[in-house]
Amino acid sequence: MVELAEQEGMEPVEARKVLGIDVTDQVAVKVEKLDVIYRTSYEKVPTFKSALKRMGKGERVVKEVLALHDVSFEITHGTVLGIVGHNGAGKSTLMRAIAGILPPSAGRIEVHGRISTLLALGVGFNPALSGRENVMLGGLAAGLSREEVNERYQVIADFAELGEFIEMPMRTYSSGMFSRLAFSVAVHMEPDVLIIDEALSAGDAKFKKKAAQKMDELMGQARTMLLVSHALGTIKEMCNDAIWLDHGRLMGRGDPGEMVDAYLHHLDVGDDATAMEDL
Amino acid sequence: MSSTTPTLSANAVERARQSAEVRVFEPHKVGLPPMRRYFKDMWARRSFANELSRAEMRAAQTNTFFGRLWLVINPLLLAAVYFLLVGILSGAALTPTKFAHLLVTLFAFYFVSNCITGGATSVVKGSKLVMNQAFPRALLPMSAVRTALRRFAPTLIVTGAIMVLVHVPLGLGTLMAIPSFLITMVFGAGMAMLFGTLQVYFRDTSAFLPYFVRIWLYLSPVIWTAEDMVGKKFDLPIIKVNPLYPMFVTYNDALIMDKISAPWMWAAASGWALAAFIGGGLYFISREREFSVRL
């Protein structure tokens, strides 16, 4: 563990010099001493009724979660960063913090360029509205102009292969259609930084292949990517850099193969096929 | 680095230089994000609030036979219901002027009510967007205010018609209805943000709302006028503490009586509106970081 932590900062700098990039000029994401604390409730559905009941009993259901503590790292444009860690390690929180959805409690995050997100917690869509309307709303919320969304619309719709469904309310969509559209929107927003959280399994085998090709294409254009996946094989294959989180702390940073191995060793599950596929 | 390292193209370096947009996320001071940037972002994304409101109105209309016509039918039906209630059932003499008063204030009340009910559900309804994208969340209740405004607009046709039919006096005083309505709108926006936040913490808020709104209607000078109250048992000072009291009195004075209300009435209306807007806005914005983990 200590060994790995020592590698932090050392290896990446080395690598970027080999690639001949001026590090300070090319920073994509810089995370400094990041703490994320949030308060959340145990209740499934918080209601006024249950709040009154609790007040009578003097109970509290709000708990404070220290999701990330003292996390620092920096990546340059072109990096495909894999994030590994157990469930609840803080991977998704880190992604949401970088996307600006959950701002830091302490520390600082700097993001250079446009961010696009494809997060696991559901796609930014309203089921009562059509696919077209949802694409427009997502784009406008991301800060694009109406014209910019219109320019991309056809490509997004074609890539998602929804046919006439694009004009139908999204409650009529199958889960595959949902994730295809979400993937298509995220990759076609021309992001400088693309954040993908557990969402690479979009659609059927055919679409998966197409999605993988699109990812390759984006990597070829050296877009910066942050990739969270429990499929460790994907991390090893696609990323050129990785970090390992454990209980909200940064355990190591470096080569994806080494990070995955270190993480597996930590879990003591070994490098068996199941873990590589899905853990 | 491993052999899978993708090579960086010249075009990437170029893009990195071009990506001048640098976002810095830092801890919020006293729970509030940097306000200047917040409002700048809000303004830049105002078309999102417009589009959301438009899309939701379209979705609501496609489910009904009359579609957009409902926007006009609805106020007419409302007028008929209250004509029946106040004019016939209560047995009170409903003069044409009083009926005109009833209608114009009723429509204004429904505007506020739509701000509250629409605002209340706006954040929870937009939960997927809130959890997936960073944008000023206040755009969600603002979108609800826009929807309320769009629903209010057709009632102006009915208002205009009744004003002509009843021969209400028209003059400079009538124009004061515009600032009066603007004040009410600011108040409605504050309420939308307040109830939007409450709904996140207490999901049954929207279940209480219809009763709350109904009681508020009866306590406001809508089915009664300020003049009716003089000398009555219920003419208590507390009646005037209702924020909608000065708003509707100035609105009614302007539209129905071509009269400019007393300055204290305007001051009270503006004071309430600002308090609601600033209070509701600060409450909303100070809580919006939590929305993404509470939804």
* Domains held by chain B: number: 1
- Beta-carbon separation of A99 and B134 below 8 A: yes
Chain B hits for A46, CB-CB cut-off 8 Å, are 201-203, 294
Q: Which residues of B touch A234 (CB under 8 A)?
A: none
Say which residue, B13 or B206, is predicted with more confidence: B206
Nearest by CB to B8, which of A78, A98, A112?
Answer: A78
Residue A150 in contact with partner chain B when CB distance is under 8 A: no
The three-state secondary structure class of A70 is strand
Residue carrying structure tokens 């991977």:
A91
Q: Report the distance separating Cα B196 and Cα B131, nearest Å.
A: 16
Residues of B in Cβ contact (< 8 Å) with A220: 6, 9
Neighbours of A187 (CB within 10 A): 22
CB within 8 Å: A103 and B25 = yes
Least Cα separation, residue B135 to chain A (angstroms): 6
Tokens of B134: 């960073």
Alpha carbon of A46: minimum distance to chain B alpha carbons (Å): 5
Number of H helices, E strands in chain A: 11, 9
Query: Is A103 within 8 Å of B59 when comparing Cβ atoms?
Result: no
Would residue A154 count as lying in a domain?
Answer: no
A120 touches chain B (CB under 8 A): no
pLDDT band at residue B212 using 50, 70 and 90 as cut-offs: very high
Interface A-B, measured as beta-carbon pairs within 8 A, has a size of: 202
Is residue B87 within 8 Å of B106, Cβ to Cβ? no
- The answer to the question of residue B257 being in a domain is yes
pLDDT mean over A65-74? 93
Q: Which of A31, A101, A234 to mutate to test the interface with B (most CBs of B within 10 A)?
A: A101
B 1-30 residues with CB < 8 A to A: 1-2, 4-9, 11-13, 15-17, 19, 21-28
Q: Where are the extended beta strands (E) located within A171-240? A: 193-197, 224-228
Instruction: For Cα atoms B283, A59, B279, give the angle at the middle one, nearest 5 degrees.
Output: 10
CA atoms of B131 and B121, how far apart (whole Å): 16
> Taking CB atoms and an 8 Å cutoff, what residues of chain A touch B120?
none
On whether any CB of chain B is under 8 Å from the CB of A55, the answer is no
Q: What's A100's DSSP letter? A: T
Cα A31 versus chain centre, distance: 15
A170 to chain B: closest CA residue: B59
**Closest to B246 measured CA to CA, from B115, B105, B62:** B105
Domain tally, chain A? 1
Name the minimum distance, in Å, from the CA of A24 to any CA of chain B: 11
Burial (Cβ within 10 Å: 0-12, 13-18, ≥19) of residue A106: middle
A39 and B CB contact within 8 Å? yes
Helices (H), A35-165: 48-57, 91-98, 131-141, 146-160
If you average pLDDT over each of A64-78, A172-186, B225-239, which comes out highest? A64-78
What is the mean predicted confidence (pLDDT) over B126-142? Answer: 91
Region of poorest pLDDT, from A103-112, A118-127, A170-179 = A118-127
Residues of chain A contacting B47 with CB distance shorter than 8 Å: 140, 145-146
* Closest Cβ opposite residue B201 in set A46, A123, A257: A46
Alpha-carbon distance B154 to nearest alpha carbon in chain A (angstroms) = 24
Cα–Cα distance between B221 and B9 in angstroms, integer?
Answer: 70
Span B25-40, average pLDDT? 88
Burial category of B130 from C-beta neighbours within 10 Å (exposed 0-12, middle 13-18, buried 19 and up)? buried
Q: Do A126 and B129 touch (CB under 8 A)?
A: yes
**Residue pointed to by tokens 């929107």:** A185
* A129 chain-B contacts, CB cut-off 8 A: 55-56, 59
> Where residue A124 falls among pLDDT bands split at 50, 70, 90?
low
Q: Starting at the earlier edge strand, list the strands of the sheet with A115-118.
A: A115-118, A193-197, A224-228, A80-84, A241-246, A249-254
Predicted confidence (pLDDT) per residue in A4-55, tens digit:
334 444 333 333 432 333 333 578 899 999 999 988 777 777 787 778 877 7
- Angle made by CA atoms A240, A247, A271, in degrees to the nearest 5: 50
Higher pLDDT, B52 or B29: B52
| B129 to A124: CB separation less than 8 angstroms, yes or no | yes
Contacts 24+ apart (CB under 8 A), A12-21: A12/A74, A12/A75, A12/A241, A12/A253, A12/A254, A15/A240, A15/A241, A15/B1, A15/B5, A16/A76, A18/B1, A19/A78, A19/B5, A19/B7, A19/B8, A21/A76, A21/A77, A21/A78, A21/B8, A21/B13
Residue B22 in domain: no
Tokens 């515009």 found at: B178
Report d(CA B150, CA B142) in Å as an integer: 12
Confidence at A83, pLDDT banded by 50, 70, 90: very high
A81: which strand partners? A226, A241
Question: Between these two residues, A68 and A122, which has the higher pLDDT value?
Answer: A68
Taking the Cβ of residue B231 and every Cβ of chain A, the question of whether any pair is shorter than 8 Å is answered with: no
Q: Is A107 on the interface with B (CB under 8 A)?
A: yes
Q: Is residue B161 part of a domain?
A: yes
B293 at the A interface (CB within 8 A)? yes
In chain B, what residues touch A190 (CB-CB under 8 Å)? none
Inside any domain, residue A217: yes
Looking at the domain assignment, is residue B274 inside a domain? yes
Residue A163 CA to its chain's centroid (Å):
28
Counting every residue, how long is chain A?
279
pLDDT of residue A110: 93
Structure tokens at B292: 């993404």
Q: What is the pLDDT of residue A212?
A: 81
Q: Is A176 on the interface with B (CB under 8 A)?
A: no
Does some domain include residue B221?
yes
CATH number, position A235: 3.40.50.300
Domain that holds residue B155: 34-294
Which residues make Cβ contacts (< 8 Å) with residue B137, sequence separation at least 6?
B123, B130, B284, B285, B288, B291
Tell me, yes or no, whether B12 lies in a domain.
no
CB atoms within 10 A of CB A10: 11
Is B8 part of any domain? no
Beta-strand ranges (E) seen in A103-240 are 106-112, 115-118, 193-197, 224-228
Residue type at A61 in one-letter notation: V
> Which residue carries 């390759």 as its tokens?
A216
A110 and chain B: CB distance < 8 Å anywhere? yes
- Contact between B178 and B218 (Cβ < 8 Å): no
Quote the tokens at residue B21.
């947009």
Return mean pLDDT, chain B: 86
Average pLDDT over residues A92-100: 92
Has residue A159 been placed in a domain? no
Number of H helices, E strands in chain B: 14, 1
Give me the domain span that covers residue A96.
2-113+192-277
Which of A68 and A116 is assigned the larger pLDDT?
A68
Q: Is residue B5 part of a domain?
A: no
How many CB atoms within 10 Å of residue A272? 10
Q: In whole angstroms, how large is the CA radius of gyration of chain A?
A: 20
Predicted confidence band of residue B187 (pLDDT cuts 50, 70, 90): very high
Q: Which pLDDT value is given to residue A219?
A: 76
Strand intervals (E) in chain B? 22-25
pLDDT at A182: 85
Is the pLDDT at B16 greater than 60? The verdict is no
